[in-house]
Structure 1
Amino acid sequence: MRFNNPYWRAIRRCLFIFVAISLLPLALVYMVRLDQAYRLKGYEYVNESHLPVLPEDAVHTLAPIDVERVEKRMERRRKLLQEKCTEFGLDVVGNDTWHKPNAWEFLVNKKYHIIWCNVFKAGSSSWMYNFNVLAGYSPEFLQRTKEVFLTLARERYPRLSIEKLREAQNDSITFMIARHPFERLLSAYRDKMVFAIPHSYHDKLGRRIVRKYRSKNLDMNSPRYPTFPEFVRWLLVQIKHGSVQIDMHFVSSTMFCTPCLINFDVIMKFDTLDEDQLYLINKTGLSRVIAPEWRNAGKGKNTQELLQSFYSKLTPKELQGLYQYYKYDFELFNYSATSYFNLVTENGT
């Protein structure tokens, strides 16, 4: 055919070269803009792995902590945990949920040798983001995706048996984040009940709680979601019926992570999280890979006024019921409930 003669082949080659040269500036602009976008988010790419990492100027901000002082803090927390576990007999393996090691909720990153037990409403949003970055998801994808971060994480971090978890711990750092039980519970209530996504599981659960626990005498202006006392009454019934699985957002941290039966190298606390997580990032050598950041910070940090306004509505019996369930969280992680009991006593509720 005439299009296969040398003349037409030369024409096609020239046309190809012309198109390639024309598109090159557009490709360069795209690459520059993409690079700028990541730098604005605090990330840049490593050519070999395409793993998002921190730029050098951000790395320096991770260094100024007193590592020795934080290490001593961690030693005190581990020592107290061990003493309390022995005191309450929680370090003895048994068949109930308090004495059975629970490896189900751990995320194990073998590449970076870091293991996390994800206690919900205790810095979990921030570290779920970090673990997804460590799993290879790009920050750009995580910014735009509509997928639940936990769902994404479980695609890369399969659940392990206790034997496999302990094997992974041999060359890894295992950590968890503790939070005052009553702060954590209020944060979970507000997130999952007050701000429940319409038609979600927790929205439907809230409506069931309202139907069952709301007095007929309440005025028409009562919220569609359960009030805090209504929610607490429901939760105490779930606790009383031990056969019912407590929602992972409300469950005791001690039951969830079984820290008396699984060794933890680092115990961070929500109230010292800024410094604790810098210590962990430095200790794991991940200062060029992940950065500490607060996600859901607006809902997560409760002021004392907010705590008082909610817990003052409970009766001493209801507060005592909550304390008995979260007692091990208070004891193992050195938290106090005294101010809360004083609050309901002063209010005469």
Structure 2
Amino acid sequence: MMSLASCKRESLTVRKAILLAFAIVIYNYVMFSRDQKPEKDSGYESNNSSSGKSSPDGVGLIGATENRTVNVTASGIRTYTFKMRGKKNQTSKQTSRKKHFLEDKVVVMDDVWTEEKMAAQAKIFADRAAELATSCEELRDDSVFLRNISAIHANLRWVPKHKLIWCPVYKAASTTWMSNLLLLAGMKSASNSFHKQVKKLYPPPKSPEERQRLLETSMRMLIVRHPLERLLSAYRDKMLRGDQFQRLSHAIKTKYPDPDIDEDATHPTFHQFLLHIRDNMKKFWSSEGTSKVNPHWQPVWWTCGPCQIMYDAIAHMETLTADQEYIIRKAGLRDLAVNAHTHSSNLDSFKGTDEATFSYFSKIPKKLIQQVSNLYRHDFQLFGYSPDKFIAMGTK
């Protein structure tokens, strides 16, 4: 029979082993939490941390200013961040904005997508394509509407290896998919010439026959957005940052003086920006497209030729999570691409799109909103959007 002293020694040994194991667990947890700690200036609430675990709504966050890989452990999907647009000698305020500008919202890709759910999403895409075809038929007599097909082909990003063709629409998840195309090329970082880099990697085939063959055998993807929401996003992104758009920003303030703001204001108001858009688009229409329009507010129908290219995957920014999930799965990119939404226009005090939309458009005359909407009428008609809600927000 075991002596009392032996029992005590064995019990003490077991307790020490348990304490040691517990200490190891605590140490690993602390080290993991420290490595995954988000930036203090993330611009998101603390319950949406980038710890690698999903938040209560099934979303993880990554900050795109770090040059390292982040794993979304809940799904096992590899996600990457990109060191983009970095500049030397930035002030602390500029650095803070840069981090906020480049933050991504990454959706955890779980396994709840059954065959039934895929079929339901496929039907949504088929319905959108059918509605687009109907609208195209109604617009077929518009002489300005159809472009030179080679010009449209040059706007596309051709990915033959994965049988994917995508038309980038700026301010409609373009940065997200630029990142994904870099991932498909095996790249985990991007230079300052982010868009040029992707354009060089995925040019159109030289032969018209090869282009046609790929168009017939590839998924043809287009992501669209409410035209007025897109304009607001362009304003918040490009007019509120003091970089390559600084000259245009100053020109808008000079040409469209606003008596309600200080002459020394750093940025033009949204009202001034829409006046610029109105005049810019009037020239575009009167010149039948020869007058240049910045790609960030160029009409989708002009950029992508949706009545000349039969897009079979038309995603909407309003349903981006589900739409991208379907596209990634259908194209066989689950282990290569990221279902993310890059937040590139949060340079003001608004975190929610609805809050920002009402605040900005409620200060704009209804007549101006109507004028701008009319100039984007083809985008409204082709993709099933209406300007009525935004006009109702405006002032008299």
1:23 maps to none
* Identity between Structure 1 and Structure 2 (%): 28
1:321 maps to 371
Alpha-carbon deviations, 1:324-349, whole Å to 9, x = none?
121111111111111112222xx32x
> Helix, strand or coil for the counterpart of 1:320?
helix
Structure 1: which 4+ aligned runs deviate by more than 6 Å? none
Shifted more, 161-170 versus 269-278: the winner is 161-170
1:67 maps to 118
Match of 1:244 among 291, 312, 333: 291
Kindly indicate which of the two structures has a greater share of residues assigned to helix.
1
Instruction: Look up the equivalent residue of 1:189 and give its one-letter code.
Output: Y
> Is contact 2:163–2:219 with CA below 8 Å preserved after alignment?
yes
Instruction: Name the CA distance, whole Å, in 1 between partners of 2:202 and 2:374.
Output: 34
Which runs of 5 or more structure 1 residues have no equivalent in the other structure? Answer: 1-36, 45-57
Question: Does the C-alpha gap of structure 1 residues 132 and 112 become closer, same or farther in structure 2, counting only changes over 3 Å?
Answer: same
Q: Is 2:302 aligned against 1:255? A: yes
Instruction: Look up the equivalent residue of 2:340 and give its one-letter code.
Output: E
Alignment of 1:64-103 (within 5 A): 64=113, 66-89=117-140, 96=144, 98-101=146-149, 102-103=152-153
Q: Which has the higher contact order (CA 8 A, sep 6+)?
A: 1
Shifted more, 290-299 versus 314-323: the winner is 290-299
Instruction: Name the CA distance, whole Å, in 2 between partners of 1:280 and 1:62.
Output: 15
Instruction: Name the CA distance, whole Å, in 1 between partners of 2:213 and 2:252.
Output: 43
> Is contact 1:118–1:124 with CA below 8 Å preserved after alignment?
yes
1:293 maps to 340
2:252 maps to 209
Shifted more, 71-80 versus 81-90: the winner is 81-90
Which runs of 5 or more structure 2 residues have no equivalent in the other structure? Answer: 1-67, 80-106, 285-289
2:34 maps to none
Question: Does the C-alpha gap of structure 1 residues 207 and 327 become closer, same or farther in structure 2, counting only changes over 3 Å?
Answer: same
TM-score relative to the length of structure 1: 0.75
TM-score relative to the length of structure 2: 0.66
1:182 maps to 228
Question: Does the C-alpha gap of structure 1 residues 222 and 279 become closer, same or farther in structure 2, counting only changes over 3 Å?
Answer: same
Q: Is 2:334 aligned against 1:284? A: no
Instruction: Look up the equivalent residue of 1:74 and give its one-letter code.
Output: F
Match of 1:118 among 168, 171, 183: 168
Q: Is 2:218 aligned against 1:154? A: no
Shift of 1:322: 1.0
> Is contact 2:225–2:318 with CA below 8 Å preserved after alignment?
yes
Shift of 1:40: 3.4
> Is contact 1:178–1:268 with CA below 8 Å preserved after alignment?
yes
Shift of 1:235: 1.4
C-alpha RMSD over aligned residues: 2.8
Instruction: Name the CA distance, whole Å, in 2 between partners of 1:307 and 1:219.
Output: 20
Instruction: Name the CA distance, whole Å, in 1 between partners of 2:340 and 2:315.
Output: 15
Instruction: Look up the equivalent residue of 1:227 and give its one-letter code.
Output: T
> Is contact 1:100–1:258 with CA below 8 Å preserved after alignment?
no
2:65 maps to none
Shift of 1:181: 0.8
1:24 maps to none
Instruction: Name the CA distance, whole Å, in 2 between partners of 1:133 and 1:189.
Output: 29
> Is contact 2:172–2:317 with CA below 8 Å preserved after alignment?
yes
1:234 maps to 276
The number of residues matched between the two structures is 287
2:384 maps to 334
> Is contact 2:182–2:198 with CA below 8 Å preserved after alignment?
yes
Instruction: Name the CA distance, whole Å, in 1 between partners of 2:168 and 2:304.
Output: 8
Q: Is 2:78 aligned against 1:43? A: yes
Instruction: Name the CA distance, whole Å, in 1 between partners of 2:261 and 2:109.
Output: 57
Shift of 1:131: 0.8
> Is contact 1:176–1:267 with CA below 8 Å preserved after alignment?
yes
Instruction: Look up the equivalent residue of 1:135 and give its one-letter code.
Output: A
Instruction: Name the CA distance, whole Å, in 1 between partners of 2:276 and 2:204.
Output: 30
Q: Is 2:163 aligned against 1:108? A: no
Match of 2:314 among 267, 279, 284: 267
> Helix, strand or coil for the counterpart of 2:340?
coil
> Is contact 1:104–1:160 with CA below 8 Å preserved after alignment?
no
Instruction: Look up the equivalent residue of 2:316 and give its one-letter code.
Output: K
Instruction: Name the CA distance, whole Å, in 2 between partners of 1:322 and 1:162.
Output: 39
